[in-house]
Amino acid sequence: MTDDAATAGLSGTPLLERHLALGARMVDYAGWLMPVQYAGVIEEHRAVRSRAGLFDLSHMGELFVEGPDAGRALARALVTDPPSLAIGRAHYSMICAPDGGVIDDLIVYRLGEEQFLVVANAANTAAVSDALAERLDGMRVVLDDRSRDTALVAIQGPASRAILEQLMDADLGALRYYAITEATVAGVSALVARTGYTGEDGFELFVEWERAPEVWDALTAEGAAAGLVPVGLGARDTLRLEAGMPLYGNELDRDTDPFQAGLGRVVKLDREEDFVGRAALARVAAEGPRRRLVGLVVRGRGIARHGYAVLSDGTETGHVTSGTQSPTLGIPIAMAYVAPHDAGTGTMLDVDIRGQRVAAEVVPLPFYRRPS
């Protein structure tokens, strides 16, 4: 870690020196010193869409839940049904407050009959760990926060499989989407998951903290001929926005429930096991959400940024949560919360962009789907 970072009180990932050597522009992200870009956001974005990109995600939280009651305990804590997962599979989930507000969105992996891995967002790891500890209390289960012992390296893009399988002892073709397996990558023991946050095929590798540089260097060398590039948080954000994936703090927060975000499908209200937030979420499911997340394409000039007001016939109907000029589509896109009656596909609204009303059309999410 650099002296400047230490002075600023930021944490560094095990790949910090690699980022600095590559000339990355570093920023404070949730208390971590992270690369926001290397060569440039657009170049990195397009590399992932056409070739492959390498990401350092070691700031994410890794919480292992183990014991005879592990599945049942998580079913009480989360809105999904982890015991229904087969060993080696994963699903997208959320942990909600009693009022239904989202504390964090998560990926839950089932590693064994009595072992699960819960991956939390960096800014929310402590909150998720504390909530799980409270909700698992009294059950035959151990919660082990290994976030500072586990590094996470991701390779994403159409060339990612061809690159990674040259370094592995496992058959990537047999690894399904949202599945995980134990493997050796460049001589390093790893959990390899076919998951990601870009809208492309790709893989996320969980390895011991100290071994992350070996994996990073091996992927960099193996991927050079295929055009693999390191990718920072800037392009990660534009990639996930094109793919219609929510970002906590933008599309999700404590004042937002899953149904408002268009993610009610992950809430399993029909199971026997009760869970925190169930009653509140059942009411929303029955009555309908008070606002809805939509995709917007700006039809005038300008980019709709986070926080900009969205207007319907001159009256504010909501606000933009995320927006950018899409590097893939070449048009300004955004996600926004609006009143339900303004959420229909094709509805014309306005976004207040620096005092100017600019036309925007409601469109289905996601904006981008990878070619099949």
Contacts of 119 (CB under 8 A, 6+ apart): 60, 61, 62, 63, 106, 107, 108, 109, 152
Q: What is the pLDDT of residues 124-146, one digit of tens each?
A: 999 999 999 999 999 999 999 99
Note the pLDDT of residue 4: 56
Contacts of 224 (CB under 8 A, 6+ apart): none
Query: For residue 235, which of 205, 198, 201 has the smallest C-alpha distance?
Result: 198
What backbone torsions phi and psi does residue 51 show, to the nearest 5 degrees?
-135, -95
Note the pLDDT of residue 156: 98
Angle at 121 between CA 119 and CA 127, to 5 degrees: 95
Question: What is the mean pLDDT of the segment spanning 324-336?
Answer: 98
Q: What is the pLDDT of residues 199-221, one digit of tens each?
A: 999 999 999 999 999 999 999 99
Q: What is the pLDDT of residues 56-90, one digit of tens each?
A: 999 999 999 999 999 999 999 999 999 999 999 99
Query: Residue 360 in 3-state DSSP?
Result: strand
Question: What is the mean pLDDT of the segment spanning 31-44?
Answer: 98
User: Where does the pLDDT of residue 372 fall: very low under 50, low under 70, confident under 90, or very high at 90 and above?
Assistant: confident
State how far the Cα of 73 lies from the Cα of 137, in Å rounded to an integer. 9
Note the pLDDT of residue 2: 46
Q: Which residue has the higher pLDDT, 112 or 272?
A: 112
Q: Is the pLDDT of residue 9 over 90?
A: no
Q: Which residue reads 């870690």 in tokens?
A: 1
Check if the beta carbon of residue 149 is closer than 8 Å to that of residue 117.
no
Alpha helices in 165-232 (DSSP H): 212-223
Query: Residue 306 in 3-state DSSP?
Result: coil
Question: What is the mean pLDDT of the segment spanning 257-267?
Answer: 98
Q: Is the pLDDT of residue 6 over 70?
A: no
Per the DSSP assignment, residues forming a β-bridge with 62 are 119
Check if the beta carbon of residue 38 is closer than 8 Å to that of residue 29.
no
b/e string for 324-347 if b means 16 or more Cβ within 10 A? bebbbeeebbbbbbbeeebbeeeb
Share of the chain above pLDDT 90, in %: 96
Q: Is the pLDDT of residue 245 over 70?
A: yes
State how far the Cα of 108 lies from the Cα of 92, in Å rounded to an integer. 6
Question: What is the mean pLDDT of the segment spanning 283-306?
Answer: 98
State how far the Cα of 40 lies from the Cα of 295, in Å rounded to an integer. 25
User: Where does the pLDDT of residue 169 fall: very low under 50, low under 70, confident under 90, or very high at 90 and above?
Assistant: confident
User: Where does the pLDDT of residue 159 fall: very low under 50, low under 70, confident under 90, or very high at 90 and above?
Assistant: very high
Model pTM score: 0.96
Contacts of 305 (CB under 8 A, 6+ apart): 320, 323, 353
Q: Is the pLDDT of residue 1 over 60?
A: no
Per the DSSP assignment, residues forming a β-bridge with 323 are 334
Tell me how crowded residue 184 is: count the other CB atoms within 10 A of its CB.
Answer: 13
Question: What is the mean pLDDT of the segment spanning 279-294?
Answer: 98
Q: Is the pLDDT of residue 7 over 70?
A: no
Q: Which residue reads 């893009």 in tokens?
A: 157
Angle at 18 between CA 14 and CA 23, to 5 degrees: 135
Query: For residue 131, which of 91, 78, 79 has the smallest C-alpha distance?
Result: 78
State how far the Cα of 280 lies from the Cα of 34, in Å rounded to an integer. 37
For the chain, which domains are there? 3-59+149-242 (3.30.1360.120), 61-142 (3.30.70.1400), 291-372 (2.40.30.110)
Contacts of 330 (CB under 8 A, 6+ apart): none
Q: Is the pLDDT of residue 281 over 90?
A: yes
Averaged confidence pLDDT in the chain: 96
β 229-230/53-56 pair status: parallel
